Structure 1
Amino acid sequence: MKRFFIGSLALVGALSLLFVGAVVGLVILGASNKPGVPAEVVLELELSEPLEEYVPEDSLAGAFGDEKLTVRDVVDALEKAGEDARVKALVVKLDGAPGSLAVVQEVRDAVKAFRAKGKKAVVYADTFGEGGGATGAYYLATAFDEIYIQPSGDVSVVGAAVETPFGRDMLAKLGVKPRMGKRYEYKAAVNSYTEQTYTEAHREETERFLTSLFGQVVKGVAEGRELSEEQVKAAIDAAPLLGKEALEAKLVDGLLYRDEVYAKVKEEAGKGAQLLYVEKYLERAGRPNTHGPVVALIYGAGGISRGRSHTNPMSGEVTMGSETVAAAIRKAADDERVKAIVFRVDSPGGSYVASDTVRREVQRAKEKGKPVIVSMGTYAASGGYFVSMDADKIVAQPGTLTGSIGVYSGKLVTADFWEKLGVNWETLAVGKNAAMYSSDLDFTPEQLAKHESSLDRVYEDFTAKAAAGRKMPVEKLREVAKGRVWTGEDAKERGLVDELGGFGVALKLAKEAAKLEGPVKVEMFPRKKGTAEVLAELLGEKKGENSEDEEAGAEVSAPWSPVLKQTQALYQLGVKLGMVEERRQMLSAPVPDTTW
């Protein structure tokens, strides 16, 4: 029986090896038969949902279907195609904005650069808005040579709006008391809990934010459609416009169906031109910037927390862990091949301590002679600004949400709420302030003073370091701080960023700072992991011999863990646990939910 058992195991092992060998063989065979790029190509891109800023290096999304398209994928593909004689044109089917205003501007820049190489770009939408606004999608469309909608379509370019909920009175009815502190009046993250309407400062910064965004859209549409800004504003105020009205207003070039648009583009591209998806083109043609001295590209995406970055391998949702990002910067700084670092930040902020950990590594990289250029995405505010402010140069899109140099912290006191439910929580503690941040007890006068003092300390540290990083007097820096958010456009005027633009501008500045001429190789830090490595980590395998040797990867969360967390949260009740993170010193910005 023992021999039979051992023999069975050997047979299973042999069959497993044969299976693995067959799979590897099929992969090699598939790679060798991989189709190339046709001699004449019309690139095709379908934008029906927001582009991802960053697909984590340990994401399993690609193993269960096509990996999500990122902002950089589109930018790189169009840069490569602009220099490729095989590519004759670009046609985009647009079903909505691919993201925030900053993301739209990144894609607009890439389309305009593609056209500057003598390539034609055409966009088609069945409609720009059906029962809703489509200002963002139309703003993107105006970067193209020609815009078409189908005859039954509309152009609903209605402007931009922000809706903010205020729940102070609701919390009072529930018996919940907000005990929140902030520095200073523009730090509006806590206002939804402490106010019932906009404060004067909150209203001022939000209206200015909207005005700046609106002005950018009007200017872009006017330039793209060769109209005056007055004509564009008049069209926005008259919207939604029927297709014929939009054609008369010169907002579109024709009323055609999809098949008619695609046939027209292919005909103009030349006989034999074939359609090829942008993602397929990128896969076959490769990315630009693959040869020469190395410029490291490091992402800091998601809310900032202490420890390693976390990602749900199924959804791709990420947090910026200070250990992971700091390790990536250290590795790039210690790598002799790396001549400069581009740090792409897309974060509304988070932990003060975690933000300072990342900032320190940016500072150390510079001390080692490695220039660091920050490229801001949708937002790089509060903690997102904290990790950026020591860079040699900061680049933001005009529509990037940045600044918010301030701090908030506190708790919700829920004792009266639980009493209404007939639940009595009793706290036993050893130490005068052991229960200081308990949500069942209010602050004592002494504890409140300690809490306020800690907010002062963080604000003073933040503003002092920001002033040093931006090389400006601290008094001047504090004039534009106070927790206020700015668009990239306004932030540049106030010295908080250096240049407006995206990846291309950041890479150019990195080359200049490192005194590099000619082509460069953009290399991701940390490198992207294979599916097998991700699965091994899910099963508990730890990489690296020590903390310095360990790869700066994200910590993989099992896809079912959010369900467990939600169950626990329901047990304790969302009102009680929903504010746990607010007890920390938070460098986090309110992200306006902009409808446009």
Structure 2
Amino acid sequence: MKQFWITFMGSIVGVIVGSVLAVILVIFMIAGLIGSAISNASSSSEPAIPRGAIVLELDLRTARTDSPMRSPFGFTGPLSIVDIVQTLQRAETDDRVHGLFLRANEFGLPAASAEELRGAIEDFRSTGKFVVTHAQGFEGTSVTGYFAVSGSDEIWLQDTASFTPAGLAAEITFLGGAFEQFNAVPQFEQFYEYKNAANTFTETTLTEAHREATLSYMGSIFDTTVAAIAADRELSEDDVRAGFDSAPHSAEAANAFGFIDRLGHVVEAREAALARVEGGASSLSIEDYAESTPEWSNAPVIALIEGQGSIVTGTPDPGPFGGSDSIGGDRMSEAILAAANDDNVRAIVIRVDSGGGSAIASDQIWHAVIRAREAGKPVVVSMANAAASGGYYLSAPADYIFAHATTITGSIGVLGGKIDLSGTFGMVGLNSETLSVGGEYATAFSGQQSWTETQRAAYRAQMEDIYVDFTQRVADGRDLPMERVLEIARGRVWTGAQAVDLGLVDEIGGFRDAIAMAKQLAGIAPESDIRVSRYPALPNPFEALSELFGMSAENAEAAARFNALMELPEIQAALEARQRMQGGELQLRSDAPQPQ
């Protein structure tokens, strides 16, 4: 008994001490964030731009989101893909900027992010400015890291590194066998055979439809990268394929193949880039350049509304310490309507990077797009890495849709279900009994019992209604016959290149192409300046401080612990699985993996 009390009291003391230390840690963290916010908010903190010629530097080894995170302290992160594109466009007309020095990603990027960056590099070079890239190895087997920079004027590789790009691969995990071991019964319905997100829970291996669709879009992405790299490096496509087929290569062999121009260390490559400028130049990070104040303009406004992550109802809050973004039905639809009602806005560009989610929220955003068009505002969609399922649903009514050739899109279908865990609980002697009053459907979403035949039939009927609505939205938005929509729907995923041929997308292009089309549809001359204004605006540092001071110390401590926990990959995977297992809301979701 004495030992029990010693252990018990020791545990209490440990909790108290741990809590005090955690509070102290949070105080230091908050102080650091406040200092960073004040520093960023102060006009005196604007980075000093070197006098004379400049070579911008961009490090692609840093993980980047497609659009800026909406976290109150998101400004501390690296530039998003969209911001990189806009910053390079601004640099094109800046006489001080002579070139760009890139640090290549060694392991691979999402394919459409790589394609967007490649396009930005091509546009930058078209103005007569140079791009020099250095890689400390292309160590991953994915071709996408190399694809992003293959259009550089000069590519350096550290001579002790490897050139390993060989193709694309995707790993798909199936839990069906594991559920059998634990007497769990996955119950899902999907429209139709290509809507394979639920296969993770119900199957033990690839179905024929799953295999067919996955290999089809992966092959399309690979073909796109091969063709682009061949054009960039002035090689034949057969030579590029041969080089990938025989990977990995030493640095010397990659140079002999024509994939690399020079061998050397990063300091040598940077010196060579600066030496390209007659009279010398200074290096400046693209982040510092982006923070420098551009000229104020009263040019016509194009509203930019960005959505990335899962589509959910309401207005999700990523929290003051970060977290993954999601597309809230309320937030995005309100932003679209606000832009539509703003007399200063001439057109709207919606940037989508989402594999889908809530059918209800997707339809809410779809309706806002319709209202914007009825208000006379042209709407252009720019698809990023993915605009599939719910992401395609909200895009369908736009005036014009751009996708990258490597964008994952389509997945016109619906799925939903639950997992009956009563057998699992029984294995450990746990019994949970469900009581209900009213209709039989009251227990349809219980995880403690299987569907009755009546419940399954009713649930499937709900899904069929959504599938009919979805396909009708596509037929109306894309001006396609319903018969054609039903042929290319069935939940199948397509690449942007395939979607253009099918009529689901208007044109292959990136963010800048979408802005140019918005200008055209708004009647703005191509040579005229415009202002791209985000709706809603990103929070500034003082707004971030206000939000932070609204928290108690206890809540700040809890938020810090919770956000650190939530970032763990295993927790993210578990939450994703739990979301899909829950009944209630039917999902317009695609789980097509980004090939690496």
Matched, 1:344 2:361: no
Offset at residue 29 of structure 1 (A) = 7.6
**Aligned equivalents of 1:215 and 1:26: distance in 2?**
47
Deviates more, 1:301-310 or 1:327-336: 301-310
Instruction: Give the one of 479, 495, 511 matched to 2:487.
Output: 479
Matched, 1:96 2:97: no
**Aligned equivalents of 1:580 and 1:297: distance in 2?**
34
Secondary structure, counterpart of 1:43 in structure 2: strand
Whether the 8 Å contact between 2:136 and 2:266 is mirrored in structure 1 is: yes
After TM superposition, the structure 1 = structure 2 runs for residues 257-336 of structure 1, keeping only pairs within 5 Å, are 257-284=265-292, 286=294, 290-336=297-343
Q: Quickly say closer, same or farther: Cα 1:29–1:53, change in 2 above 3 A.
A: closer
Q: Partner residue of 2:364?
A: 357
Q: Quickly say closer, same or farther: Cα 1:316–1:172, change in 2 above 3 A.
A: closer
**Aligned equivalents of 1:23 and 1:307: distance in 2?**
30
Instruction: Give the one of 179, 202, 217 matched to 1:171.
Output: 179
Secondary structure, counterpart of 2:197 in structure 1: helix
- Give the residue type in structure 2 aligned to 1:176: A
- Give the residue type in structure 1 aligned to 2:279: K
- Give the residue type in structure 2 aligned to 1:588: R
**Aligned equivalents of 2:445 and 2:453: distance in 1?**
13
Q: CA deviation digits over 1:226-266, x for unaligned, max 9?
A: 00000001000110011111111111111111122111111
Whether the 8 Å contact between 1:37 and 1:285 is mirrored in structure 2 is: no
Q: Partner residue of 2:382?
A: 375
**Aligned equivalents of 1:400 and 1:203: distance in 2?**
19
After TM superposition, the structure 1 = structure 2 runs for residues 509-588 of structure 1, keeping only pairs within 5 Å, are 509-517=517-525, 518-538=528-548, 558-562=559-563, 577=578, 579-588=580-589
Offset at residue 55 of structure 1 (A) = 2.2
Q: Quickly say closer, same or farther: Cα 1:319–1:560, change in 2 above 3 A.
A: farther
**Aligned equivalents of 1:186 and 1:137: distance in 2?**
29
Q: Partner residue of 1:16?
A: none
Identity of aligned residues (%): 35
Whether the 8 Å contact between 2:226 and 2:240 is mirrored in structure 1 is: yes
**Aligned equivalents of 1:135 and 1:482: distance in 2?**
30
Whether the 8 Å contact between 1:124 and 1:149 is mirrored in structure 2 is: yes
Secondary structure, counterpart of 1:162 in structure 2: coil
Whether the 8 Å contact between 1:439 and 1:576 is mirrored in structure 2 is: no
Deviates more, 1:52-61 or 1:480-489: 52-61
Q: Quickly say closer, same or farther: Cα 1:403–1:29, change in 2 above 3 A.
A: closer
- Give the residue type in structure 1 aligned to 2:290: L
Whether the 8 Å contact between 2:196 and 2:210 is mirrored in structure 1 is: yes
Instruction: Give the one of 225, 229, 254 matched to 2:262.
Output: 254
- Give the residue type in structure 2 aligned to 1:88: H
> Aligned-residue CA RMSD in angstroms?
2.6
Offset at residue 566 of structure 1 (A) = 11
Whether the 8 Å contact between 2:184 and 2:421 is mirrored in structure 1 is: yes
**Aligned equivalents of 2:533 and 2:67: distance in 1?**
14
Whether the 8 Å contact between 1:59 and 1:314 is mirrored in structure 2 is: yes
**Aligned equivalents of 2:470 and 2:60: distance in 1?**
39
List alignment gaps of at least 5 residues for structure 1: 1-21, 542-556
- Give the residue type in structure 2 aligned to 1:584: E
Offset at residue 577 of structure 1 (A) = 4.6
Whether the 8 Å contact between 2:189 and 2:415 is mirrored in structure 1 is: yes
**Aligned equivalents of 2:576 and 2:197: distance in 1?**
17
Q: Partner residue of 1:67?
A: 77
Matched, 1:42 2:50: no
Size of the aligned set, in residue pairs, is 550
Q: Partner residue of 1:469?
A: 477
**Aligned equivalents of 1:259 and 1:27: distance in 2?**
30
Deviates more, 1:171-180 or 1:574-583: 574-583
Deviates more, 1:94-103 or 1:242-251: 94-103
Whether the 8 Å contact between 2:134 and 2:157 is mirrored in structure 1 is: yes
Q: CA deviation digits over 1:48-105, x for unaligned, max 9?
A: 122211223442143xxx3321012211121111111111111111233673110001
Instruction: Give the one of 234, 237, 240 matched to 2:242.
Output: 234
Offset at residue 537 of structure 1 (A) = 3.7
Instruction: Give the one of 41, 56, 62 matched to 2:69.
Output: 56
Whether the 8 Å contact between 1:411 and 1:583 is mirrored in structure 2 is: no
Secondary structure, counterpart of 1:147 in structure 2: strand
Matched, 1:162 2:175: no
**Aligned equivalents of 1:295 and 1:576: distance in 2?**
38
Q: Quickly say closer, same or farther: Cα 1:368–1:237, change in 2 above 3 A.
A: same
Q: CA deviation digits over 1:491-546, x for unaligned, max 9?
A: 111000111111111001101111111111111111122233234345559xxxxx
**With structure 1 as the length reference, what TM-score do the two structures score?**
0.87
Q: Quickly say closer, same or farther: Cα 1:593–1:67, change in 2 above 3 A.
A: closer
**Aligned equivalents of 2:567 and 2:112: distance in 1?**
32
Q: Partner residue of 2:430?
A: 423
**Aligned equivalents of 2:74 and 2:594: distance in 1?**
27
Offset at residue 169 of structure 1 (A) = 1.6
**Aligned equivalents of 2:131 and 2:191: distance in 1?**
47
After TM superposition, the structure 1 = structure 2 runs for residues 361-510 of structure 1, keeping only pairs within 5 Å, are 361-431=368-438, 432-510=440-518
**Aligned equivalents of 2:43 and 2:304: distance in 1?**
30
- Give the residue type in structure 2 aligned to 1:72: V
